[in-house]
Structure 1
Amino acid sequence: MRLSLARPALAALLIGIAAQLLFSVGVTRPSKLVFDEVHYVPAARVLAAEARPANTEHPLLGKTLIAGGIAVFGDTPLGWRAMSTIAGTATVLGVFAILLLLFGSVATASYGALFAAVSMTVFVHARIAMLEPFLGALLTLGIAALLWAMRAPRGQVVRRWLLGAVLLGLATGVKWTAAPYVAFAGIAFLVVREKQPEAWPGLGRITALALLGFASVIAYFATFWPAFLYRDNPLTLARLIPFHRDMYLQQTQVLSPHPYQSSWIGWPFDARPIWYLYEPVDGAVRGILYLGNPAIMWGALIAIVWLGVHWLRTGSRAAAGVAMLWAGSLGIWAVIPKSLGFYYYYYPSSIFACIALAAAFHLAGARLCLFWFAVLATALFLYFYPIISAAALPNAQAFNRWMWFDSWR
């Protein structure tokens, strides 16, 4: 084990294989569309057929990736969800890369990747054809690429910086909620460069911001290419901007109250999860509860406060950066003009919570505590596994075993 962990590439390979297996086993269960798959899988079918506009509330990339899975594996449960499993694995590896680049510790990075894999939010979204798995993967990989550029040799900085910008642009091509991260990246660059002039060697401030903006915008608009190929009502350059106005109007429309709606203030506390599925299907009662691992979600809140205090006491830029990434990802929802909120909007923040946990344990030097916390988080993942994986349950009331609070029902 020590020999493997001493080699980041081998550790990443083993983690990637384990994550892909975890997300893939039983991914075809249930055999019917669940929750928002009823919107995105039909839209992906239309995209694959290059037929007409569908599900125009969001950009195209997420649905295009689902269509790619259908093209490879067929219009089956595996085809609907295959790309999500890959995105889930990419998210876990993105967490690994971010922590490795921040702290240079394969052990810390591996624990962070484990937290992501057993966070339950990543697991559920790695097994469902929604937009969130692609959003999370591209955001984490984009952040990792920008950190990779920070420590690159002078001749490789620009290409790595561009890679990060493109990934963030593609994330915005999945959901507009990724757009603020481009601004976060620009602000972080300016702040770090002011304190650490040797970071991103040879990349000037104006050049960096120009490349970040240009590459992310080009990548974003490139995701609309399939819409130009529709047989019925294809997109044109003249209609591209009006199309965005229509998307904005759809996303900001006032919706009727929903039983699972919740406020962004309550998301970090795991207060109102969502039943993606709970019904008889495939010969048994099955459930998919979208709930964050309580140890990770609640533990992360303590870790984030600790990181803030540690930053104020020591000036640690890594502590500040991780804490502010989580805070910024949540703060986005305080200003986005959405009439209703849902817990799955917290998905990127739940990923950053895993990074915050591993970062806090690392900076505190609490290796033994980190180990036992990982044991607790994994044990809770296994405890909740039957109702997050659509496993067969003994009867219709079996869900009560896992309902710690009335708000979880």
Structure 2
Amino acid sequence: MSPSHYLMPRPLKLLLTPLSLGLVGVWLFALVTRFWGLTRFDTLVFDEVYFARFGRNYLAGVAFFDAHPPLGKYLIALGIYLSGHFDPWGYRWLNAFTGSLIPLLVAGIAACLWRKPLFIFLAAFLTSLDGLLLVESRYALINMYLLFFGLLGQWLWLLASEAKKQNRAWYFIGAGLALGCSVAVKWSGLGYVLGLYGVWGIAKISGWLWGYRQGWGQHLQAWGKWTIWQMGVILPGVMVAIYSLLWWPHLRLNPGVGFFQIQQQLYDYHKGISSTAHPYCSAWFTWPLGLRPMSYFYLTVDKLTPNLDNPPLFGPMSPRNATAWVYDVHAQFNPLLLWLSTISVLILLVGCGAWLWGRWQQNQSHWNLLHVDQWPPHQHLTPAVALFVVINYGANLLPWVQVGRCLFIYHYLPAAIFSFLGLAALLTQAGSQSDIRWRGVVVLAIALVIGGFIFWLPIFLGLPLTPLEFSWRMWFRSWI
């Protein structure tokens, strides 16, 4: 056996077992759903009118102002360059491929948290069944790059925490580079950073106050071993370095603007956006229930045509009384997945609160989520896993409370992924119990998520629907 095998972190070894067959299946499913009919609408959809053109501007050497850091548009430009054409395939394919990798990154994080194959598979599978992730992957938008680098950074940080000393520094530096890239796509990538610092802080405090219990305490011990020098200087230093470096091509294209000046311009731009600047603005507290999704494309026609060359972004093309078909791309979570995941986060939050209160009051764990205290630690959902999910969920959601500008449902994506992880954890916990009723709950929940994905798939992919079929999928007035 090669020496490199011994240096590989255990979560990475786990992904190279037969479990990988299931994950390959999930990836192929994600790949097909993202690439099938990718060029269906030969027009710039939603923010493609900005981002796709900005990518082309980089290739053409045309100066412009953008409200976000440049990395996402660099990658769109790369896709256009590699395809050789500025057309829907050229500016969408790389985003679609990146989106197909998100479930695998979630699986990687899951493998670091809890080494149960069912949990790892469910984390990836549930993520692949979300609608908003699918929609955002199929157009030249930049949220997939934000998620990709943010999740990659967290995974590398977790791998670094478990790696042998020889490899630990490489994973740690890689985490800093990936997190810096996430912020270089959108500033909201800082939520992933905040989540890691929250996990590290809780792990440190837990070790100081109570020590580390055998089993679940191994995670907290691994996360808390990083020093203030490493987390306070090296990690942010790497992030700032890569973030600053990635601005260099953009600043060369805009020589009259300095680095700090453009940061101020971005801040002023977002600060100046009204809270009612767009009809699809939504408050942060509506996101966990998906109360205000967005329509990225809407068109009504009186008859189906073989293709839709250069259609307008919004219809109708024909009188409404003559409408026979509706084309709609709805930026919407899979509602059943979203609601179950939100409930899961609340359950984990209550469990974490009870555990922390018990530790504070009596120096006891009081961790009895779904009655599993009698199980060996490696076989059940531990407080460390729940804390990681809840802290990262809060770190990616709660900062939006103080933001006064117009916000949209897609701002919830980073937090939502951790709620999917929480649902996978609870389903794995319930499915591991001997009581067949718990297993029935697991089967029902998974069936509801799959059914929801299939039912709403036409409005995720923009498939033609009759007006009646479209109305069936608009369950609430706020969805329209």
Question: Structure 2 length as normaliser, TM-score?
Answer: 0.78
Q: Does 1:234 align with 2:300?
A: no
In the alignment, the residues of structure 1 paired with residue 22 and residue 234 of structure 2 have an alpha-carbon distance, to the nearest angstrom, of 32
Is the 8 Å Cα contact of residues 203 and 223 (structure 2) preserved in structure 1? Answer: no
Residue deviations 1:24-79 (CA, integer Å, cap 9, x gap):
1111121111111111111111012222133x211000111111111112211111
In the alignment, the residues of structure 2 paired with residue 37 and residue 118 of structure 1 have an alpha-carbon distance, to the nearest angstrom, of 24
Bigger Cα displacement from structure 2, 318-327 vs 355-364: 355-364
Residue deviations 1:8-28 (CA, integer Å, cap 9, x gap):
444433332332122111111
Structure 2 residue corresponding to 1:317, chosen from 370, 378, 384: 384
In the alignment, the residues of structure 2 paired with residue 392 and residue 306 of structure 1 have an alpha-carbon distance, to the nearest angstrom, of 39
In the alignment, the residues of structure 1 paired with residue 234 and residue 429 of structure 2 have an alpha-carbon distance, to the nearest angstrom, of 33
Map 1:210-229; keep pairs closer than 5 Å.
210-229=233-252
State the partner residue of 1:402. Answer: 473
Quote the sequence identity (%): 26
Q: Does 1:248 align with 2:315?
A: no
Bigger Cα displacement from structure 2, 310-319 vs 361-370: 361-370
Map 1:63-82; keep pairs closer than 5 Å.
63-73=73-83, 74-82=85-93
In the alignment, the residues of structure 2 paired with residue 350 and residue 235 of structure 1 have an alpha-carbon distance, to the nearest angstrom, of 39
What CA RMSD, in Å, does the superposition of the two structures yield over aligned residues? Answer: 2.3
Residue deviations 1:335-354 (CA, integer Å, cap 9, x gap):
23x42121111111222221
Q: Does 1:353 align with 2:419?
A: yes
Q: Does 1:23 align with 2:34?
A: yes
State the partner residue of 1:204. Answer: 227
Structure 2 residue corresponding to 1:335, chosen from 402, 406, 409: 402
Residue deviations 1:120-175 (CA, integer Å, cap 9, x gap):
11111111111111111111121111111111112211111111111111000000
Is the 8 Å Cα contact of residues 277 and 289 (structure 1) preserved in structure 2? Answer: yes
What is the letter of the counterpart of residue 68 of structure 1? Answer: L
In the alignment, the residues of structure 2 paired with residue 114 and residue 25 of structure 1 have an alpha-carbon distance, to the nearest angstrom, of 19
Q: Does 1:266 align with 2:286?
A: yes
In the alignment, the residues of structure 2 paired with residue 191 and residue 206 of structure 1 have an alpha-carbon distance, to the nearest angstrom, of 17
- How much has 1:370 moved relative to structure 2? 3.0
In the alignment, the residues of structure 1 paired with residue 429 and residue 112 of structure 2 have an alpha-carbon distance, to the nearest angstrom, of 14
State how many pairs are aligned.
400
- How much has 1:367 moved relative to structure 2? 5.1
Q: 1:198 to 1:328 in 2, by over 3 A?
A: closer
In the alignment, the residues of structure 1 paired with residue 256 and residue 247 of structure 2 have an alpha-carbon distance, to the nearest angstrom, of 8
Is the 8 Å Cα contact of residues 204 and 225 (structure 2) preserved in structure 1? Answer: no
Q: 1:407 to 1:93 in 2, by over 3 A?
A: same
Residue deviations 1:337-394 (CA, integer Å, cap 9, x gap):
x421211111112222211111222344355533432222111101111111011234
Map 1:102-181; keep pairs closer than 5 Å.
102-181=113-192
What is the letter of the counterpart of residue 407 of structure 1? Answer: S
State the partner residue of 2:59. Answer: 48
- How much has 1:266 moved relative to structure 2? 0.7
Map 1:259-298; keep pairs closer than 5 Å.
259-280=279-300, 282-283=307-308, 285-298=326-339
Bigger Cα displacement from structure 2, 298-307 vs 314-323: 314-323
**1:393 aligned counterpart, secondary structure:** coil
Bigger Cα displacement from structure 2, 371-380 vs 242-251: 371-380
Residue deviations 1:294-329 (CA, integer Å, cap 9, x gap):
111111121112112332241712112202211221
What is the letter of the counterpart of residue 234 of structure 1? Answer: P
State the partner residue of 2:448. Answer: 376
In the alignment, the residues of structure 1 paired with residue 469 and residue 23 of structure 2 have an alpha-carbon distance, to the nearest angstrom, of 37
Q: 1:397 to 1:37 in 2, by over 3 A?
A: farther
Q: Does 1:61 align with 2:65?
A: no
Query: Unaligned 5+ residue runs, structure 2?
Result: 1-13, 213-219, 302-306, 309-324, 355-365, 368-381, 433-437
What is the letter of the counterpart of residue 337 of structure 2? Answer: I
- How much has 1:211 moved relative to structure 2? 1.6
Is the 8 Å Cα contact of residues 47 and 64 (structure 1) preserved in structure 2? Answer: yes
- How much has 1:187 moved relative to structure 2? 3.3
State the partner residue of 2:105. Answer: 94
Is the 8 Å Cα contact of residues 23 and 124 (structure 2) preserved in structure 1? Answer: no
What is the letter of the counterpart of residue 280 of structure 2? Answer: Y
In the alignment, the residues of structure 2 paired with residue 404 and residue 202 of structure 1 have an alpha-carbon distance, to the nearest angstrom, of 49
Is the 8 Å Cα contact of residues 138 and 168 (structure 1) preserved in structure 2? Answer: yes
State the partner residue of 2:49. Answer: 38
Looking at CA atoms only, which structure, 1 or 2, has the larger radius of gyration?
Answer: 2
- How much has 1:4 moved relative to structure 2? 10
**1:130 aligned counterpart, secondary structure:** coil
Q: 1:198 to 1:301 in 2, by over 3 A?
A: closer
Bigger Cα displacement from structure 2, 205-214 vs 261-270: 205-214
- How much has 1:202 moved relative to structure 2? 7.2
- How much has 1:198 moved relative to structure 2? 4.4
Residue deviations 1:244-300 (CA, integer Å, cap 9, x gap):
101111111133542211100111111111111111484464110111111111111
Is the 8 Å Cα contact of residues 88 and 126 (structure 1) preserved in structure 2? Answer: yes
What is the letter of the counterpart of residue 385 of structure 1? Answer: L
What is the letter of the counterpart of residue 265 of structure 1? Answer: F
Is the 8 Å Cα contact of residues 227 and 235 (structure 1) preserved in structure 2? Answer: no
Structure 1 residue corresponding to 2:349, chosen from 308, 313, 330: 308
